[in-house]
Amino acid sequence: MNDEVNDDCKRIGRFDVDFARRTITRISDGAFIKASRSETLIFTLLAEKANNTIYREVLLAECWQGKVVTNNSLTVAIKNLRTAFVKIGEHKIITTEPKLGYCIRQSALIDDGSHPPKSNDIISDENVVQPILLKEETDNKQSLSLSNKEKTDISRTCNISLFEIIVGILFFFATLTMCYRFLFFMDTTSVEGLPVIYNGIDLPKPVQNAILQNDNSSISRWYAFPISKSCNYYQLFSVSNGQFINYSPTIKQEICSVK
């Protein structure tokens, strides 16, 4: 991993870390996240020690120097980093090592071409020299362009069917329900490298087997949670292309009576 340091900036893999502005920028397309000082230091320490588990105690000591903080401060900081990275399409940056600490895989720091530069950032020769138009001709073109845009918008609106509206409403409420059920999740773990959001309790073997047997490249993350505190009966969902899919029936475990 080639790191470059320039004043208050450091390049780590495919990211630029600006300590003064407290930003972490993806080099390929310029997408960036804002972070606190401690969160910026956490990312830097994990990235510089890629493929190594950094213990929670080390992160607390190195990233909050001179301050007395609790484990909860680190949990919140990791959650904030993950949430910010998800917003720019990075879903597998930080991995939880249960009961130990956290890790960033070196593969997550290598540019795989999944985030190419935006097309409007590329300037072609045709845009270098533009002919000077008379004011009247320019106004006519702008008026014609606006008229065509209005017609296009009206046409698209008319093509929206009642069925699509109903499906959209149902999907919204389903997503809302899922989000409500996942509010109690505290942390993220991994099952052989696959990110799983859970409630901090070790996942039973049948749940882990179900995740490994059903995983595919379209799944970005898994959700596993117990349906009752009195037993180990779990429900399992995946997020694939922005949709929740129920994999609970694939878990080989005894049915538990919910009280």
**pLDDT for residue 256 is more than 50:** yes
pLDDT at 122: 46
**pLDDT for residue 34 is more than 50:** yes
pLDDT in tens, 97-139: 998 999 999 999 998 888 888 765 544 444 433 443 444 555 5
**pLDDT for residue 56 is more than 80:** yes
Place of tokens 């989000």: 179
Sign of the torsion angle spanned by Cα atoms 178, 93, 30, 33: positive
Structure tokens, 211: 């995740």
pLDDT in tens, 196-211: 887 777 788 888 888 8
**C-beta atoms surrounding 73 within 10 Å:** 16
Mean pLDDT (whole number) for 42-70: 93
When mean pLDDT is compared over 35-44, 150-159, 203-212, 230-239, the highest value belongs to: 35-44
Q: Which residue has the higher pLDDT, 150 or 104?
A: 104
Sign of the torsion angle spanned by Cα atoms 147, 153, 156, 162: negative
pLDDT at 126: 43
Sign of the torsion angle spanned by Cα atoms 45, 51, 55, 56: positive
Could you give the percent of the chain with pLDDT greater than 90? 36
Alpha-carbon gap, residue 236 to 225, rounded angstroms: 7
244: Cα separation from own chain's centroid: 15
pTM > 0.75: yes or no: no
What's the pLDDT band for 152 if we cut at 50, 70, 90? low
Q: Which residue has the higher pLDDT, 176 or 46?
A: 46
When mean pLDDT is compared over 53-62, 127-136, 166-175, 210-219, the highest value belongs to: 53-62
Structure tokens, 259: 């009280």
20 Cβ partners below 8 Å, 6+ apart? 7, 8, 9
Report DSSP state, residue 52: S
When mean pLDDT is compared over 68-82, 144-158, 208-222, the highest value belongs to: 68-82
